[in-house]
Amino acid sequence: MIHLGVNIDHIATIRQARYRGAAASPNAEPDPVAAALAAERGGAAGITAHLRGDRRHMQDADIFRLRETISTKLNFEMGNTAEILAVALKVRPEDACLVPENRQEVTTEGGLDCVGSQPALRETIAALQDSGIRVSLFIDPELEQIEAAARLGAEFVELHTGAFANALGVAQDEELLRLAAAAELADSLGLRVNAGHGINYANVAKVLRIPHLVELNIGHSIVSRAVFVGLEQATCEMVDLLGAA
């Protein structure tokens, strides 16, 4: 069965809208750690959280509390900076997913450039793996990026499904073919395959046609659904859709 990782960044985004700079306040809500526990009760196989350089949503204390509290696994999304690497090496999550960061974006908008950033990525990947942390690279479904990820020695690639999610009709089918081809190449090169970005309850059935998938990381759609049914139920509904495949 394909596993579900629930990204709880948007829970922290809601909190920071009112309590930016005061996340430790006793009034600060909602609590990302409580959200993670609800997602686990709903069947999540892991919790994903992105500690950005500007701390716009998750805070350092959130990450350490997640590490101490959740019973599944922590997938730590991170930009390739010395500051965030230092946090990762202290937290020691099971997985670390290296992603690009743009200070102007609301959420991650594209894949990592593994081809053009190999020296810097290689050093970070080695540091993470030396600490027993599995490494994933969040990349667009481009064959040259898959090949570069394999050369860098990452265990996983996470295919960026944003272009697929935003496309319509024939264009969406073409994006799905690109994702499938990227997954086939990744598998042939010994990489395991995750996917994420823009996946929702309506399009997940198509996403599940991508071969060799291990895990989907989904945040926005589950949090949006949780507004109406609660996070535990929203997670359970997505787990059921993955199981039906």
Residue positions annotated with a catalytic role: 50, 77, 197
- Taking the C-alpha atoms of residue 245 and residue 234, their distance in angstroms, rounded to an integer, is 18
Residues 130-143, buried b or exposed e (16+ Cβ, 10 A)? eeebbbbbbbbbbe
Q: What are phi and psi of 123, to 5 degrees?
A: -65, -45
For the CA atoms of 197, 203, 204, 207, the dihedral, rounded to the nearest 10 degrees, stands at -80
The CA radius of gyration of the chain, in Å to the nearest whole number, is 17
Q: Provide the token pair at 125.
A: 């990947």
How many Cα atoms occupy the beta-carbon half-sphere of 6 within 13 Å?
36
Q: Provide the token pair at 38.
A: 């609800």
How many Cα atoms occupy the beta-carbon half-sphere of 102 within 13 Å?
9
In sequence order, the 6+-apart residues with CB closer than 8 A to the CB of 55 are none
